[in-house]
Chains A and B, each alone.
Chain A
């Protein structure tokens, strides 16, 4: 694909300054700073460091300022070299450098979550200087990864528990993974007492339970976060942003292909039940279907048995509530297919077509190929979003992002990444698929 320039970032939200003027001013400031006496320059850098620390706790900017302070204070030759970099050059060179930094390298808001709705503040507000206490219960790969991510963040007290009896109200939040011990009453009780919940998308047994828990959370005005890995996968977030910004116009079709391959991952694929396979993590992408296209009204389904050894396939097509929009979830088990993956060899691709263009999502947990994770073809343009725009593609980032998101909710600055209607619809579709496969007609959901 031809990679074209991304749109230049706005410099500020107010009156737009001309880029040329900003560059000129910036160059002037840098050259002035290069002429300052050491004590004044160091003091300025320390002030800059203070403000960076306020805004971000880590990052390469802080490291750069620290390095500058160190060199300027302890290395006379280094001090001279750095000053001369800004003073002894062709003016045009420095202008071009600053111009490029401003135009292409300033932090973009595109990496932020696509907020769908606000999340109520936790009723149990944790004081900012205290770390929230979180209990985690559940089995499975996602729970293991979340545990690791919580432990690595050092900004909460995580307790991994085995029994629901240990899920007490002393905790500020519960991170609930799939667990046979769960009951709706337990969750209702937690919400009623203001415990913030994070619920794995496969933790609830059926659509009725899902709808009920959403109602309870809303009724008690207690934050409820549904954890589904793809909501935290940066390429999917970018995809959502593109849809929300009408990049491809009116969205018409959403097609998702999910394949459980047999080879290529560091982990052996989880067993696929022969008939009731919709809950398999390689196939359970009903939330992605509704996240991208909205609630569905009707579905038409063909299901075949799935076999880990011989393969299998299923097609779930549907009509979205949005006029003129249709979707397809295509599931395949391909036992001899190789999908390179840091974990399970689960392949996922999506194609979204709209009135102005098409977006392709090229990967999920697995990386079938080294193409950019997102490719866009719109109007007469084509571009990709991947390594060049800093889109994180590592699957591990899903869990660190999810932990950051939940900690943000606990701190009262949470946003919802998916709305209740999409969650309900996904649960209803999943619940209706088996019956729909038997029907000789489309089925309302």
Chain B
């Protein structure tokens, strides 16, 4: 594998809805270009081929992997298909960027991590929140001690039905169906971003407790979750409210996302990400009786995807790991399951204790993975 290559060729496996946010990252970008696409849906494939002007298109991912010109592979398929494709790609010597979550089972994630260790290629799990400008800035402020010793971190998700573009019903139904397997949209799927941030700011999780309700049978909201960290005394919380008729303007998903970090000297407030509920500055630092509004931070959610995607080829050239590593992504997966299972049973759980057997037992799943349609 040539890490010194000027411009990497990227093959995208899975060109569904989310890839509308991936494509712009490759425009006017010297370090990588989108060279090939793949999807099992020939109609969708043809549409993207025409829209993006990509001639190299196939419905069989193996063909894409067999192309020696392809250096980096993006895996944007349904979650239960991640393992097979990622492992195959790594074994083919490709660098792999896989959309979050890493997988739906611990064994699948383990297999992907193991494959990365023996591959010439690098594995990263694409989670864009850790590249969102105000969150990156907040991390800088934290590390610089701007608010003193951190005490608590709070995440808020308020989801709404109004204010964003139309989300295809098929996408929504898929999310709702996943909730039956402990992979609810709020805590597990979209929640993955918040949990990733929780670990981005303060590291590994020791234990979790809390409550998750169910609205309209399938939606894992409202919820109130709390946790301890392993290596810091910071306590974390995540509250989720379903506010369906609260208009939340967004070009993507109508979600009110806030983070508040209280420290011994100050408070950092992060007021938006995917959606905009208010007109406040995206980051507000309160310290010594003064509020500093960081109005110069870009708030468009697209920016985080672009930053995340572009960092990978640069990281390859620099031979460094970019976020998320496979290990971190697995830790987040366990964190999500610990919250879901713990809340279901009213008990405290440690993410380290999450196993596939436990998950399968809780959600009446077969332990052996089911075969995918890819």
Contacts and interface: CB of A to CB of B under 8 A. Distances in A.
Contacts of B151: 311-313, 332-334
A317 B209 contact: yes
A376 B261 CA distance: 22
Contacts of A328: 224, 226, 237, 239
B242 A355 contact: yes
Contact of B211 (A298, A354, A355): A298
Instruction: Place the interface of chain B in its size category.
Output: 35 or more
Most chain A Cβ neighbours within 10 Å, of B156, B235, B260, B346 = B235
Nearest to A357: B246
B222 A314 contact: no
B210 A300 contact: yes
A218 B111 CA distance: 66
Contacts of A358: 158, 241, 243, 246, 256, 277
B142 to A, nearest CB: 15
A335 B266 CA distance: 10
Contacts of A334: 148, 151, 262-265
Given A253-B222, A440-B347, A379 B291 contact: no
B278 A377 contact: yes
Most chain A Cβ neighbours within 10 Å, of B240, B244, B262, B288 = B262
Contacts of B260: 257
Interface string B197-226: 000000000000111010100000111111
A249 B247 CA distance: 13
A264 interface: yes
Contacts of A318: 211, 224
Given A257-B262, A300-B209, A252 B154 contact: no
Contacts of A249: 243, 245
Given A252-B243, A334-B151, A355-B244, A310 B264 contact: yes
Most chain B Cβ neighbours within 10 Å, of A2, A326, A368 = A326
B233 A304 contact: yes
A108 interface: no
B237 A319 contact: no
Q: Is the interface of A mostly helix, strand, loop or mixed?
A: strand
B152 interface: yes
Contacts of B259: none
B277 A369 contact: no
Nearest to B239: A253
Interface string A104-144: 00000000000000000000000000000000000000000
Contacts of A257: 154, 260, 262
A174 B301 CA distance: 60
A302 interface: yes
Contacts of B209: 300-302, 317, 441-442
B310 interface: no
Nearest to B242: A252
Contact of B286 (A255, A325, A357, A368): A368
B346 to A, nearest CB: 4
B265 A354 contact: no
A6 B112 CA distance: 57
Interface stretch (A20-28, A57-65, A336-344, A391-399): A336-344
Instruction: Place the interface of chain A in its size category.
Output: 35 or more
Given A298-B211, A335-B264, A355-B244, A326 B222 contact: yes
A8 interface: no
Interface in A322-373: 324-328, 330, 332-338, 340, 351, 353-358, 368-369
Contacts of A259: 262
Contacts of A165: none
B292 to A, nearest CB: 12
Contacts of A355: 242-246
B239 A315 contact: no
Q: Is the interface of B mostly helix, strand, loop or mixed?
A: strand
Interface string B263-285: 11111000000000111000000
A378 interface: yes
Most chain A Cβ neighbours within 10 Å, of B215, B222, B288 = B222
Given A1-B278, A311-B151, A326-B224, A377 B262 contact: no
Given A264-B289, A330-B237, A379-B245, A442 B278 contact: no
A338 B262 contact: no
A313 B223 contact: no
B348 interface: yes
Contacts of B264: 310-311, 334-337
B228 interface: yes
A326 B223 contact: yes
Nearest to B227: A302
B92 interface: no
B286 A252 contact: no
A369 B290 CA distance: 8
B226 A302 contact: yes
Contacts of B222: 252-253, 324-326, 353
Nearest to A1: B278
Nearest to A381: B247
B358 interface: no
Nearest to A441: B347
B234 to A, nearest CB: 7
Contacts of A354: 241, 243
Interface string B119-156: 00000000000000000000000000000110110101
Contacts of B266: 337
Contacts of A252: 221-222, 241-243
A318 B226 CA distance: 10
Interface string A425-445: 000000000000001111000
A380 interface: yes
A312 B232 CA distance: 12
26 contacts: A1-B278, A248-B243, A252-B222, A264-B289, A302-B209, A304-B235, A311-B148, A313-B262, A315-B152, A315-B226, A315-B235, A319-B224, A328-B226, A334-B265, A335-B264, A353-B156, A355-B242, A355-B245, A355-B246, A358-B158, A377-B246, A382-B278, A440-B347, A441-B346, A441-B347, A442-B347
4 closest cross-chain pairs (CB), A and B:
A353-B241, A326-B224, A300-B209, A336-B265
Interface of A: 1-2, 248-249, 252-253, 255, 257, 259, 264, 298, 300-302, 304, 310-315, 317-319, 324-328, 330, 332-338, 340, 351, 353-358, 368-369, 377-380, 382, 439-442
Given A317-B224, A333-B151, A379-B245, 8 more contacts: A252-B242, A257-B260, A313-B234, A317-B226, A336-B265, A355-B242, A358-B243, A377-B277
